[in-house]
Structure 1
């Protein structure tokens, strides 16, 4: 049988094996009183377990391997963290394992004890030809388990974004306004230019742009200059204006362009989403909102306030130009599309609330981040469509964001044994044969 070690973790966690007359490989009677807590960090696989060997009670850790010899190949013999392991659980026992003091670690061999139906369920899952391995059997899983896994994936996704935001916080000396500013730029780069937009924000402090007040065109000129996107030879009056304004503020603040045209991605990007246009939109947002993070916190009452924050119209110039001096074949929209607006709430607002709650240890802000996603329409992307296809309907942004995390971190990586849905599909009948 071919399987990953995390299969055995699931077997132990849910006790999917015959526990009658358990004995160690040396013949000691064994009783399992407490399986322990699954450890997802460094160290033994299960912590704070309780077992009885013969007449003695033991409290400690449990390590799990496919073969006993994996203990050595994984380097545990030289790691003091594993000296406290009281039981070694393996599928196949191929050699005794000793602690650093020379005593043998009691070993439980599962070969011949795992329920046959569990093995068959695992093979059905792992050998599936579906892109989402559990797709054809998803409806066998209770809805509450699916929702629980969706929520877990969403929390992990928000935790990851929160780590990124709090890392920015550390680099800005706990300045929430500067952090929100840099995070907004990253979000405005969307998937294609996220990192480049973030670097643009880092190159020009928010406090300098705030000094320009509601002068959107001045902010725009400064940003274009820092972005390396100013026209080399101005083709029209506005192009000349941008170059002239940046030159003035460059000297005033001692600015140095941080990026060049080559840093930006245009391939596969529609003209309406070109960096020029996104920067012009950002300039308008910054000019209309004097204090970004304060506005983010004030917008906690209703979604309509978010729309006001992002309800900006680019100048007529950008409705007819794809970049300075280059006229667009078609007129471009003056404001943000509804899809862009929703994506900004999902990727900018919700993670900021969650991070703020984590930083301030105020749970209600984290909960607001979840509630906000439940009030938004779901995203329509290739991943949400995959789940719709297998019968898992997407109702709101909470669902679609959870599915993004589920697909990228579990389905695509085939981590079914780390997923509650996969674990449930392994579940045997009450009585099963053994293998």
Structure 2
């Protein structure tokens, strides 16, 4: 049984957080929230069944896929220990209680199987995760401090901001890891690069240098870099590395135009595919998760991969069986059609379960989907915190009152959600505005 060590320090964390974890269940209007962090978004069928079982017996049965490729159990009742113990026994918990906070390493959902990858990131990821769990000092990091390891896959969430990101690419016959701080590969050029063999060393050096320089109020890398110039940080980082970083001429990660997380796509291995499906608005119930586990066992390798798009992949499916798998996923209530507008909408918990939510975003999103003739990537947020989306969506509807939203369009030159294009719109009015805009763009 993977039980956190009882000798974990009990003092107040250096950077306390209100974020839920597996061992810290945070109250909400609909009960407690338990967040189960998944290594690289991956979970075995037996682990998925354990999550479904405790969600059904000790919570409301509602399970959410998060934008960091984790799972959240909602509506947790008073029997916290009874819910947590089976998850620990299934291997879903940390080695020590303190390390539950810092297991924040994002991979591509298609890591190791993507035909376009420059690097299989799993070996390095496992090494990094082991260090995060076994290095006591790293528990001083904030629960929000996040690292991304990108292997150059065609399927990768490159817009989420991370405190440290690494991206693999080929350079003069060698695979290097370009890296950046307080940003993301989609928008920022790499600061420098290191050979893959130094990837773990680089990550540990960055984390320790951050802790050496940061004050307790510096919870994220961006806070520190407001006071310490990035050039100074990188220079001090180089002094801690066994191999000098490779200086790059403003190398940037190629960003795929279309996320490949809905539908069927080939894997690196001939004759195998993965099938991607979206739980509507990121929500599953116990029956859906059990069903996914069964399909993964019957047709795949017995694993599921959750994604930063709040969807799920079933890898290692024989290509000729993909249509059958797709039909079974649809029967479970998942969305497998990339043209379905609902599969592209993201909505936070909203006023039905969050005291800060100003509108029932989940219900409003379902209504909006019926008003759209074409899919659009739209984020409905019940308040300014933007909990459901870590990046700025092309279209954001920000709730201002029940059933009413301000409408923003993303613009690189504008901070926050972008340019305000409509105020206090009903869902019907927002749908009509977006439809008119799409027709106008098409006509152009």
Same-fold status (TM-score > 0.5): no
Which is higher, the Rg of structure 1 or of structure 2?
Answer: 1
Tell me: higher relative CO, structure 1 or 2? Use CA pairs within 8 A at least 6 residues apart.
1
TM-score with structure 2 setting the length: 0.23
More helix by share: 1
TM-score with structure 1 setting the length: 0.23
